Homo-oligomer: A and B are copies of this chain.
Amino acid sequence: MNIGDYIRVTQEKSTWKGKIIQKKGNYLTLKLDSGYNAGILVDKRTKIKKISGSEVKKHKPIKFKTKFDKKKPSVSILSAGGTIASSIDYSTSAISAAHSAEEMVAAVPELANFANIKARKVVEEMSENMLPKHWKKIAKEIEKELKNSEGVVVTHGTDTLAYTSSMLSFILRNLNKPVVFTFAQKSSDRGSSDSAINLICSTITAIQKIPGIFVVGHGTVSDEFCLIHKGSKVRKMHSSQRDTFRSINDYPIGKVWPSGKIKLNYQKKISNEREFHIDDKIEEKVGIIKAYPGLDPKIIDWYTDNNYKGLVIEGTGLGHVNVKDKSLLPKIKRAIKKGVFVCMTTQTIYGRTNPYVYTPARKLLDAGVIYLEDMLTETAYTKLMWVLGHTKNEEKVRKMMLENLAGEFNPQLKPDQFLL
């Protein structure tokens, strides 16, 4: 038996059918038709039979056909890679971002019930490899599509989706239409993929008259409904569950069912006063440091000495770092003196930073650290990049960082927003 052979394995009462993707000693890994891997220890009881012909599952590309319906709104679906646009490469079992946008959309015929769909690929990347240049590219493609569409849906890998959605919340100025990010936790050619429901619910959201950047995805592990999250208040909270994206320190702004039903708890007037435009000036020399007991204070110097312009410290609790035996304070003071803007978020994820409760945090505040209230670290990072792309003036940076530009602050947290 060789890698790539299609086989049936029987072991006592269990049977597996799939392609061999790995052999290690007596251990065999099969890629099952469902898309899942099965690891099998081959022993005396194991029966293996090579199969062929009609029993072998073929991966056929689907042709994209659509009829234009002038009564329906137009929605552009832009593929920016990720699992939703990927399929399993059956020769290596790896998932790769290789599906065409058309193919992905064609697999969900229900979309045509809601809108005339245009689909194309703009970035072909798993999201862990995304960089500022990809954010800018996606922004430009969204701008193009918004000219002729009621809304845009962007499919994106889950890993860094919240970084992209928050960054675009700042780059896309005065949005007057919805831009909806969506995703899949399982690739589209798996039986249990979540991509169809996510695409349908995103399309339904994209035809609403709500301006803004949103993330739409499963609300529970079942396929019942999706939640609509603000792009600047959302985070990937589970490595594999389909309901991974959660609103943090905020309620979701709505709920949408694949039937077309939608409930919105969100009102924002579309302003025609100021024109929609892209403003993608970004300072890339920004870093994130997570605080922890024993963190080496010299790491701050590394950023300072490497010409960094901004640092987001993900502090503990209300926004703390060690200020005693292994104090970060002198290093932070040095960084600020040399022109590094230092901001504080909290690694608790939920809740607000507050420098006024404990003395050590007041010292950080007095040193010039900008406490970012209830802002997510992801959003703090992209916002600091964006703000520093526009000004390095101390007063202006502080003012912009603390101004609610894209719903990134929630002035009044509610207890039931915790673990929502």
List residues of chain A with CB under 8 Å of any chain B CB. Answer: 37, 92, 94-96, 125-132, 157-160, 163-164, 221, 236-241, 243-244, 246, 284, 286-296, 298-299, 302, 306, 314-326, 346, 348-354, 356-360, 362, 378, 381, 415, 418-420
Contact = CB atoms under 8 A, between A and B. Distances in A.
Contacts of A158: 317
A239 B415 contact: no
B290 A126 contact: no
7 contacts: A128-B323, A131-B322, A159-B320, A239-B317, A239-B318, A239-B352, A241-B351
A116 B286 CA distance: 54
In the complex, the count of this chain's copies comes to 2
Q: Is the interface of A mostly helix, strand, loop or mixed?
A: loop
A317 B37 contact: no
A293 B163 contact: yes
Nearest to A358: B95
Given A129-B325, A246-B419, A419-B420, A37 B353 contact: no
Contacts of A296: 287, 306
Contacts of A348: 236-239, 244
Nearest to A163: B293
A237 B418 contact: yes
A358 B241 CA distance: 16
A293 B316 CA distance: 22
Contacts of A95: 357-359
B358 A129 contact: no
Contacts of A299: 287, 299, 302
A159 to B, nearest CB: 4
B292 A354 contact: no
A414 to B, nearest CB: 10
A241 B349 CA distance: 12
Contacts of A325: 129, 131
A374 to B, nearest CB: 8
Given A160-B316, A358-B126, A415-B221, A240 B351 contact: yes
